[in-house]
């Protein structure tokens, strides 16, 4: 699948809370911006969301928490050209649609649910497949590097669909031959190509992966972990951390009423905060260069 989606990409829960940031235009993209209450680090963090997009409350609340917990300004741009997945897809009975072929009620309702699933997915797929969407991502980061990125470190946190972009960005340079980002984090990334994308990676990345990830099977994830931990040079120190019981989507769409998934989500957020602190300490107050 070009957009890197599985059944768990359509599952999850909407998180509640009051967002604190604001919406503006940055480098030509509508962007949700969250500033820390007490700025402490010379870094800009950019969130690249899952399929639910930049407007989902989950991502905006995450941006607010990341800003306050890291002391960094956080940007959450619309990289999907307005075609994110609607939140109501998470209410569709995906398991019944895919697996229940015995219940008369389920069989009767399948065409109805299939229609709405396709209604949500097709525009997303057509607009946000790779490499089409990655061109937009690179455009934003190229402008960011030439502006705020002259004096600040640039970090990225990508989830599911956004995790794929985080890996790709780790190899991208601007027209002057400088890397677009200084460090990256990926929560259960979608459709990472190994070994190719890890061999090309030139930016340290930390990955949070669940042991119950439908898209990233354990054999695949263990192979990714081994390759990442062999990286040297600029990408040295890359890592993958497993979260027992975490599913695909746990870091951004976890059902917070599920105690285990909430523990995984909270631990992954702590993981990200520690990674930012580690990268800022390693790279210094100014940005790293090629």
Q: What percent of the chain has pLDDT over 90?
A: 75
CA separation for the pair 31, 165 (Å, rounded): 17
Alpha helices per DSSP H over 46-131 = 57-70, 94-99, 104-128
Per-residue pLDDT reduced to its tens digit, 174-227: 999 999 999 999 999 999 999 999 999 999 999 999 999 989 999 999 999 999
Crossing angle of helices 132-146 and 104-128, rounded to 10°: 50
Per-residue pLDDT reduced to its tens digit, 237-287: 999 999 999 999 999 999 899 999 999 999 999 999 999 999 999 998 545
Domain boundaries, the chain: 7-84+127-283
pLDDT, position 259: 95
Per-residue pLDDT reduced to its tens digit, 73-91: 999 999 999 999 888 887 7
Strand order in the sheet with 22-26: 22-26, 29-34, 73-77, 43-48, 153-159, 183-187, 205-212, 239-247
Which of the four pLDDT bands, split at 50, 70 and 90, describes residue 116?
confident
Q: How far is CA 149 from the centre of its chain?
A: 20
Report the topology of domain 7-84+127-283.
Rossmann fold (3.40.50)
pLDDT, position 2: 36
Nearest to 225 by CA among 243, 241, 201, 204: 241
State pTM to two decimals.
0.90
Q: Where are the beta strands (DSSP E) in the chain?
A: 22-26, 29-34, 43-48, 73-77, 153-159, 183-187, 205-212, 239-247
Per-residue pLDDT reduced to its tens digit, 132-172: 999 999 999 999 999 999 899 999 999 999 999 999 999 99
Which of the four pLDDT bands, split at 50, 70 and 90, describes residue 100?
low
pLDDT, position 78: 98
pLDDT, position 140: 98
Of the given ranges (62-66, 94-98, 149-153, 160-164), which has the lowest mean pLDDT?
94-98
Per-residue pLDDT reduced to its tens digit, 3-35: 344 556 666 788 999 999 999 999 999 999 999
* pLDDT of 65 over the 80 cut: yes
CA separation for the pair 131, 197 (Å, rounded): 14
């Amino acid at each position: 699948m070009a957009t890197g989606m599985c059944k768990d990409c359509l599952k999850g829960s909407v998180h509640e809370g009051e967002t604190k940031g604001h919406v503006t235009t940055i480098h030509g993209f509508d962007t949700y911006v969250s500033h820390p209450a007490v700025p402490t680090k010379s870094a800009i963090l950019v969130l690249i969301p899952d399929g639910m997009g930049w407007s989902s409350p989950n991502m905006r609340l995450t941006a607010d928490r990341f800003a306050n917990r890291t002391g960094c300004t956080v940007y959450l741009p619309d990289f999907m050209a307005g075609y994110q997945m609607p939140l109501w897809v998470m209410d569709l009975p995906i398991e019944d649609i895919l697996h229940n072929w015995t219940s008369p009620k389920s069989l009767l309702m399948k065409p109805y649910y299939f229609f709405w699933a396709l209604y949500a997915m097709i525009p997303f797929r057509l607009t946000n497949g790779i490499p089409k969407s990655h061109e937009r991502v690179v455009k934003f980061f190229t402008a960011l590097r030439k502006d705020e990125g002259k004096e600040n470190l640039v970090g990225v946190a990508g989830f599911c669909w956004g995790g794929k972009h985080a890996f790709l960005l780790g190899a991208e340079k601007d027209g002057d031959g400088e890397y677009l980002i200084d460090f990256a984090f990926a929560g259960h990334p979608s459709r990472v190509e190994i070994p190719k994308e890890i061999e090309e990676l030139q930016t340290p990345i930390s990955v949070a992966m669940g042991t119950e990830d439908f898209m990233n099977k354990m054999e695949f994830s263990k192979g990714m972990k081994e390759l990442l931990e062999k990286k040297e040079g600029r990408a040295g120190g890359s890592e993958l951390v497993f979260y027992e019981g975490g599913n695909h989507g746990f870091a951004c769409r976890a059902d917070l009423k599920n105690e285990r998934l909430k523990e995984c989500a909270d631990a992954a957020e702590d993981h990200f905060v520690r990674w930012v602190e580690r990268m800022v300490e390693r790279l210094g107050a100014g940005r790293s260069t090629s």
